[in-house]
Structure 1
């Protein structure tokens, strides 16, 4: 991913409230547009970087469970 794209995505959501961030995530998922995937990836990267080891384990368990249901 281009670093400029990453910075642009971060800039676009910096200062957003939790409700606004949730709306952004839900909208991206519901629309299912491929062009939204990089933005979700950047948001996940930020979540991952700031998560505790326990939170990372929980995310991985949730991801594994979700993938089995696909």
Structure 2
């Protein structure tokens, strides 16, 4: 069985509004379950791809501060 995680996650959130997307992220982080990490990774990938260089630099700076 071949499962495309990216495609499945994008399909599941395709009709979500901004509030629902935020809730998805907050719930996944608060839940803290390992099974949520691939989904958060896909969401981060989308964010990264839609960001300009300044936004990417800010994300990397925030990540560096957090680790």
TM-score by length of 1: 0.89
CA distance in 1, matches of 2:24, 2:32: 12
Alignment: residue pair count: 66
| Structure 1 gaps, min length 5 | none
Moved over 6 A (4+): none
For 1:11-30, list aligned pairs within 5 A.
Answer: 11-30=11-30
* Aligned-CA RMSD value: 1.2
Instruction: Give the Å deviation of 1:40.
Output: 0.2
Aligned residue for 2:57? 57
